[in-house]
Amino acid sequence: MLAELYGPLCAIRPQQDFAIAHLAQSLDGRIATAGGASQWISGEEDLRHTHRMRALADAVLVGADTIRHDDPVLTVRRCAGANPVRVIVDPDRKLRADHRVFTDRSAPTFVIVAEDCSETAPLGAVEILRLPRANGIIAPAAIRSALAARGLHWLFIEGGGVTISHFLRAKCLDRLQLTVSPVILGSGRPSLSLPEINAPGLGLRPTVRRVILGQDVLFECIFGERDEG
Binding site for ligand NAP (CB under 6 A): 23-24, 31-32, 36, 38, 41, 62-66, 69-70, 89, 91-92, 94, 137-138, 140, 158-163, 166, 189
109 vs 163, which CB is nearer to ligand NAP? Answer: 163
Can the peptide bond before residue 160 be classed as cis, meaning omega within 30 degrees of 0? Answer: yes
Residue 160 Cβ, how far from ligand NAP at the closest point, in Å? 2
Least Å from the CB of residue 152 to ligand NAP: 16
Q: Which helix (H) or strand (E) holds 54?
A: helix 44-56
Shortest spacing between CB 203 and ligand NAP, in angstroms: 20
Residue closer to ligand NAP, measured from CB, 74 or 199: 74
CA distance 229 to 16: 24
Q: How many residues does the chain have?
A: 229
* Nearest residue to ligand NAP, scored by beta-carbon proximity: 160
Question: Which one, 58 or 158, has the nearer CB to ligand NAP?
Answer: 158
Cβ closest to ligand NAP, residue 88 vs residue 107: 88
Exposure string for 79-93, b = 16+ CB within 10 A, e = fewer: eebebbbbbbbbbeb
What's the rounded Cα separation, in Å, for the pair 184 and 27? Answer: 5
Find the shortest distance in angstroms from Cβ 65 to ligand NAP. Answer: 3
Residue 226 CB, shortest distance to ligand NAP, in Å, is 25
Nearer of residues 153 and 189 to ligand NAP, judged by Cβ? 189
Q: Is the peptide bond before 154 cis (omega within 30 degrees of 0)?
A: no
Q: What are the CA-CA distances from residue 17 to residues 139, 143, 173 (Å)?
A: 16, 12, 10
CB of 35 to ligand NAP, least distance (A): 8
Q: In the complex with ligand NAP, which residue's Cβ is closer, 84 or 91?
A: 91
User: Regarding beta strands 175-181 and 216-222, do their DSSP bridges make them parallel or antiparallel, or are they unpaired?
Assistant: antiparallel
Rounded to the nearest angstrom, the gap between the alpha carbon of residue 179 and the centroid of all alpha carbons in its chain is 13
